[in-house]
Amino acid sequence: MRTSLSLSLSLSLSLSLSLSFSWGQGCEGVGHVEYFGVTYPTVAIGQQCWFAENLQTAHYRNGEPIPDGLSKRAWRKTRKGATSEVEPDDSWNPIVYGRHYNGYAVLDPRGLCPAGWRVPTENDWAVLEAAITPTLRSPSDMAEALKTPRFSGNNSSGFAATAAGLTASDTGEKAYRNVAAFWWTSTREGDELRYRHLYENFSYLNASSTLPGVGMSIRCVRE
């Protein structure tokens, strides 16, 4: 019995140390990724490797430019890929929010993420949630684990979510900055695309779908 108990404790301790070593740390062998002049930190969450910042590129993977700087009217009307920078806030320690991309850019076969990486599917996000859930006191702590302290979180996962808001499809205007975060998935649902979102005072990582004219953030996940 003692041997069995000792072995069980040893295995539990080993597993705990292993998880704590990788949790919220840069991915093994890929601490950062250089992509079109920007260095992105990575974070290991369970068996996945994610960018720890929102995507900032204004180019598709093949180097071709994504239409940028569209007027509000042009953003409303376009049915092609487009991107728009989310300006950092004007605080003494500005947040880098990255860019918004419409859903047409997500669907473009030229790709947004670097080679070996992709825009996450709905299932990729589900796997991320499943990896984080056992570390939480309750499921309602999910949002806190993903968000930075400046976004009402503790970032225990290392995901470092920032409230970059979105670009509305009907007005072409930025909305919800410093209040909510929205990320596209590459999963279609009829004419719509699935997305994930966090709000400042909400406890869960929510899922929904919308038409591709909206501009949202992108997180890349390793293939």
User: pLDDT at position 140, please?
Assistant: 86
Say if 192 falls within a structural domain.
yes
Q: CB–CB of 135/16 below 8 Å?
A: no
Residue 68 covered by a domain:
yes
For residue 209, the enclosing domain spans 23-222
pLDDT at 23: 52
Helix (H, G, I), strand (E, B) or coil at 29: coil
pLDDT tier for residue 4 given thresholds of 50, 70 and 90: very low
> Domain for residue 10, yes or no?
no
- Tell me, yes or no, whether 110 lies in a domain: yes
* Domain count of the fold of the chain: 1
Question: Hey, what are 116's tokens?
Answer: 């070996």
pLDDT per residue over 52-76, tens digit each? 999 999 999 999 999 999 999 999 9
Asked if residue 162 lies in contact with residue 181, where contact means CB atoms within 8 angstroms, the answer is: yes
In a domain, 92, yes or no: yes
> 90 Cβ partners below 8 Å, 6+ apart?
none
Pseudo-torsion of CA 132, 135, 139, 141, nearest 10°? -90
> Which of 157, 155, 195, 156 shows the shortest CA–CA distance to 176?
195
Per-residue pLDDT band for 83 (boundaries 50, 70, 90) equals very high
- Indicate whether this model's pTM tops 0.75: yes
Per-residue pLDDT band at 92 (split at 50, 70, 90): low
- Whether 6 maps to a domain, the answer reads no
- What does the pLDDT average to over 192-217? 96
> What mean pLDDT comes out for the span 34-47?
96
Q: How far is CA 78 from CA 19, 209, 216, in A?
A: 45, 19, 15
Query: Average pLDDT of the chain?
Result: 88
pLDDT category at 93 given cuts 50, 70, 90 is low
Residue for token pair 């996940």 = 221
- Using a 10 angstrom Cβ sphere, with 0-12 exposed, 13-18 middle and 19 or more buried, the burial of residue 94 is exposed
pLDDT at residue 138 greater than cutoff 80: yes
Q: Is 209 a domain residue? A: yes
Is 15 inside any structural domain? no
